[in-house]
Amino acid sequence: MSQKNSRKISILSFVLCLGVIFIHTYNLGIYGIESLNGFVFRFETFTNKLASGICVPYFFAISGFLFFRNFDLSCLTKKYKSRFHSILLPYSIWSTIYYLFFVFLTMTPLSRFMNGSIEVEVGIKAYLDYVWNGYYTLWFLRVLIWMILCAPLLWLFLKQRKYYWPEPVLALLIFLSIKEKSVLFFNIYYILGAYLGINYSKWIAKGVTKQTALLAGLCLLGLVAMGGTYSGTILYNCAFICSSWMVLDFFAFDKELPWWMKCTFFFYCGHDMILESVEKAILIVFGKSEAMALIDYIVAPFITVFILIGIAYLLKTYGKPVWKILNGGR
């Protein structure tokens, strides 16, 4: 993969991760905001629906693309070994960290510094259930593990051209995935990413012209404007993914990215315990009001990322073995 496309994926992943943190910062209930016509309610509802509809599907598409680029069955063992270190092991470790963190909070008065109810059962069975089901922000990794296990079947489906063409079947799957509650809803984005990874040289490698990128930019602006109504639907998400990818072709990306922009996995896995503490601190210090709800919603994600960058720096500098595990070897 070209250096430009690699940097595009790093930038997109960082922005998407920030979007996920914004999703989890949604605070109308905490601040007791019930006015449906108020600015804060409408702003948070619009941005949260836009982010929640786009960010996770986009992550699935990127994950499918990265797994299936240059993939064939001969390298399946190598891919599985790589994903064991980059997905399965850190998923288990982070689930354990969250379990121990909330057990500690449950057994101490510190739970009052977190938003919501913090109670977990203590015991081997409770721990195994917790790791199996995963902390709620880690559900993406659990689904991703199942998709990776299905990789051989998915590869055969997408590469098969003797008895059928995969594109019409893929279009049918998209149609069947229209409803958000469909089993296929999130998996279809992984499948789309896999298709683009398998056909990398045809669809991705060449990029697009600046004129096409500008047109994609106009399309993207229109999609953002419609986000409150259509975000989360299959066709909207596919259009958003394609247009945003093409927009980035307008830029050269000839400079090295900051190191912390490549720590998306660590930020994604570790953000919730930091975010909960930051939001609670803001609430305790400044109290409840619509203005503070909006400030909290905008500021808390950036404070959380800033703290995580500091933790990442310390781990990279003084605890490299731990850092490699928590960041999936990235």
pLDDT in tens, 161-211: 655 566 666 666 665 555 544 445 567 888 888 888 888 877 787 777 777
pLDDT tens track for 84-106: 999 999 999 998 898 888 787 77
pLDDT score at 124 = 81
pLDDT for res 166 = 64
Cβ neighbour number for residue 116 with a 10 Å cutoff: 10
Q: Give dist(CA 313, CA 12) in Å, integer.
A: 21
Q: Who has greater pLDDT, 17 or 219?
A: 17
Q: CA-CA distance, 195 to 201, in Å (whole number)?
A: 11
Rounded to whole angstroms, the Cα distance separating 27 from 148 reads 34
pLDDT at residue number 302: 96
User: Is pLDDT larger for residue 131 or for residue 279?
Assistant: 279
- Nearest Cα to 166, choosing from 127, 202, 218, 217? 202
Evaluated on CA atoms 177, 130, 260, 113, the torsion sign reads positive
Q: Which residue has the higher pLDDT, 231 or 69?
A: 69
Closest CA to 258 of 250, 249, 270, 267: 267
pLDDT of 247 strictly over 90: no
Q: How far apart are CA 131 and CA 115, in angstroms?
A: 22
pTM: 0.86
Contact 64, 191 (CB under 8 A): yes
Percent of the chain with pLDDT over 90: 30
Give the model's pLDDT for residue 186. Answer: 61
CA 3 – CA 16 distance, rounded (Å): 20
In this predicted structure, the answer to whether residue 225 has a pLDDT above a threshold of 70 is yes
Confidence of residue 56 (pLDDT cuts 50, 70, 90): confident
Is pLDDT larger for residue 11 or for residue 170?
11
pLDDT at 227 over 80: no
Q: What pLDDT, on the 0 to 100 scale, is given for residue 80?
A: 93
Please name the residue ranges forming H helices in the chain. Answer: 3-23, 39-68, 76-83, 89-106, 124-133, 139-149, 151-159, 166-176, 184-198, 200-203, 210-225, 227-230, 234-247, 264-286, 290-318, 320-326
**What is the C-alpha separation between 160 and 324, in angstroms, rounded?**
37
> SS3 of 144, please?
helix
DSSP states of 263-277: -HHHHHHHHHHHHHH
How does pLDDT run across 108-153, given as a tens digit for each residue?
665 555 555 566 677 788 788 877 776 778 888 988 998 899 888 8
The tokens describing 270, both together, are 């570790």
pLDDT, tens digit, for every residue of 282-304? 988 888 888 899 999 999 999 99
What average pLDDT is seen over the chain?
A: 83
Q: Which residue has the higher pLDDT, 230 or 61?
A: 61
